[in-house]
Structure 1
Amino acid sequence: MKLKRLIRGVATAGAGIVVAGALLVAPAAPAHAAPGGSGPYPADYETTLRLPRHTVYRPASLPTGLRLPIVAWGNGACRADGTLFEVFLKELASHGFLVIANGRPGGTGSTDAQMLIDAVDWAVAENSRLGSRLRGRIDTTKVAVMGQSCGGLEAYEVSDDPRVTTTGIWNSGMLSDADNGQLARLHAPIGYFIGGPSDIAYENAMDDWGRLPAGLPAFMGNLDVGHLGTYSQPNGGEFGRVGAAWLKWQLKGDAAAKAMFVGTGCGLCSGPWQIMRKNLT
């Protein structure tokens, strides 16, 4: 139960991870607080009355022809603050993704796994809704569910949704063997991004790794930074760089991003990351 207490209690510490930006309340206003990220499409966040319990990150300007895969994100501590991981999520969105975080900007209270499904449902609806500025701009065939710590448990819970293209588990792992049935329902490639042996979730994540379904494509990356990762560093630090690459490979088929994970000379095969792989080709 030690991990469970930390996952729920990290909200207080997590509040210092990132600094939330301005609150945007227009139902479909363009993002315009402070675009960021190292990708080709500087990204920001906004809110919408059609999805009132979430924060939506996207490129501030949408170039013609750009279609955004969907990334649903659950926060550490299952905290309902959609800007808790602002720097990191802007980085992901700046590479051409629609990232939808549980919770409003600066919000309080708790989230649940259903909110990740709500985010995906909203994005799918927006892609076809008359009057939506995102109409025809979302790739609804490419969906990632991801989360940090308690948010990772939320991602596990909904990963059996047939629309899910990939799952991302950040500083997280199943709390008990009673939850292992969720692992058996995984059907899409999964990436683990853990903070090394000093991460309170390390042992849980490694135990999950050994229980994954046979044949499931999987990546395990450990960076010795502990449970709070590098999320608050410029552009999300190493977690931002590697997370964006995972999404670019899994949701966009980017060959250069794939080379970071696959092959004997992969980009992460040497250096600070300690990696393991299963069924990655």
Structure 2
Amino acid sequence: MALLKPVLVAAATVLVAVTAAVVVPASPEGDAAAPPAPPASAVFHPVVREAAARTGDYAAEYTVYRPADSDRVRGGLPVVVFGNGACRHTSNDELLTLETLLAAHGFVVVAIGGFDEPALTENGSPEPAVITDAITWAERENGRRGSALRNKLDTRRIGVAGHSCGGIEALVAGADPRVKSVLSLDSGFFADGTLGYGRENLRKLHTPTLFADGGPNDVAYANSGENYDLVTVPAVRVTNPAAGHTGFVYGQRDGNPDPGVREEAARVLVAWFDFTLNGNRAARGYFLGAGCGLCVTPGWTVTAKNF
């Protein structure tokens, strides 16, 4: 399941479109049966990065990554809200590449942090409202006159994700009934409730949840595994010990620059939300079943339960 080579966005810039040709076999019944949607990994849209319209009093400012050619997309686009490591609520440079790639594969990403804020070494505390307010923002934009996203979102398909401290925010926000999928990246609740949220919150999850971590050198490794063991929802845990705590985000393998690690992490993100928000069977096979796609990718281990 190869991702196409990404082109990074600059501020409020539309990229040159790159699309993958998808060949659908002819239906024996002619046009009566609609062809299945291609997997998200086979699609690559130009992406716009822009400031979220300030249409309400929210817990944070947001930056939006969206397909520039959304008029050509059949049906509404799923939404993924992304929280930053260190619970950075002002800047949002950390996950720029992953968020751009996710949007390029057909998702609208609402990132915590202001569009034109400089890169900051900010360290905050978990505020799950920054995630749930972003969902409310998306719902309002979908119906607001003048919105570039008006009637283009499918607010029945909303995922939440976060890295490190932002993963705790996403896990808490996963209790929201509007959420249909959760992704915890190098994160998890501490046994003693450090940062203000304990593992009792895992009982509030009601949707499929993915825990991704960078192995024993990842400071979140123990929490990731122990949280996975405790959840009762359908769950997957994926581990790549070469990544450590930030390799998925910054493209590092065993502490050395290697963008391939980040590309592999992007495949995981795209496939997870394609599976859990879009119901794509090919994406499901990336995580589940004998010889699953990620299972046979060198360096990765995969476990799953409750499916």
Provide the TM-score with structure 2 as the length reference: 0.76
1:275 match: 302
User: C-alpha deviations, 1:117-154, integer Å up to 9, x for none?
Assistant: 11110111111112212111001001111100000011
Amino acid at match of 1:78: C
Amino acid at match of 2:106: G
Select which of 288, 291, 301 maps to 1:265. 291
User: C-alpha deviations, 1:41-79, integer Å up to 9, x for none?
Assistant: 122310033267111111122133352111011000111
Amino acid at match of 1:256: A
| Alignment check: 8 A CA contact 2:238 2:302 kept | yes
User: C-alpha deviations, 1:190-224, integer Å up to 9, x for none?
Assistant: 001111111110011111122112xx100000012
| Alignment check: 8 A CA contact 1:83 1:104 kept | no
Residues 150/63 of structure 1: CA separation in 2 closer, same or farther (3 Å cut): same
Q: Secondary structure at the match of 1:198?
A: coil
Distance 1:66 1:91 in 2: 20
Unaligned runs of 5+ in 1: 1-19, 24-30
Distance 1:36 1:87 in 2: 17
Q: Secondary structure at the match of 1:169?
A: strand
Distance 2:10 2:291 in 1: 43
Structure 2 counterparts to residues 125-164 of structure 1, below 5 A? 125-164=140-179
Select which of 171, 175, 188 maps to 2:207. 188
| Alignment check: 8 A CA contact 1:142 1:164 kept | yes
Residues 36/76 of structure 1: CA separation in 2 closer, same or farther (3 Å cut): farther
Unaligned runs of 5+ in 2: 1-7, 19-40, 252-258
Q: Secondary structure at the match of 1:227?
A: coil
Amino acid at match of 2:220: A
Structure 1 residue 231 corresponds to structure 2 residue 249: yes
* RCO comparison, higher one (Cα < 8 Å, 6+): 1
User: C-alpha deviations, 1:90-141, integer Å up to 9, x for none?
Assistant: 0111111110111113444547221111111011111111221211100100
Distance 2:201 2:17 in 1: 35
Provide the TM-score with structure 1 as the length reference: 0.83
**Displacement of 1:83:** 2.5
Distance 2:45 2:14 in 1: 15
Structure 1 residue 94 corresponds to structure 2 residue 104: yes
Query: Once the two structures are aligned, what percentage of the paired residues are identical?
Result: 37
How many aligned positions are there?
252
User: C-alpha deviations, 1:21-59, integer Å up to 9, x for none?
Assistant: 655xxxxxxx41657998421223100332671111111
The structure with the larger Rg is 2
Distance 2:114 2:68 in 1: 18
CA RMSD of aligned residues (A): 2.2
Q: Secondary structure at the match of 1:231?
A: helix
| Alignment check: 8 A CA contact 1:21 1:83 kept | no
Distance 2:180 2:238 in 1: 19
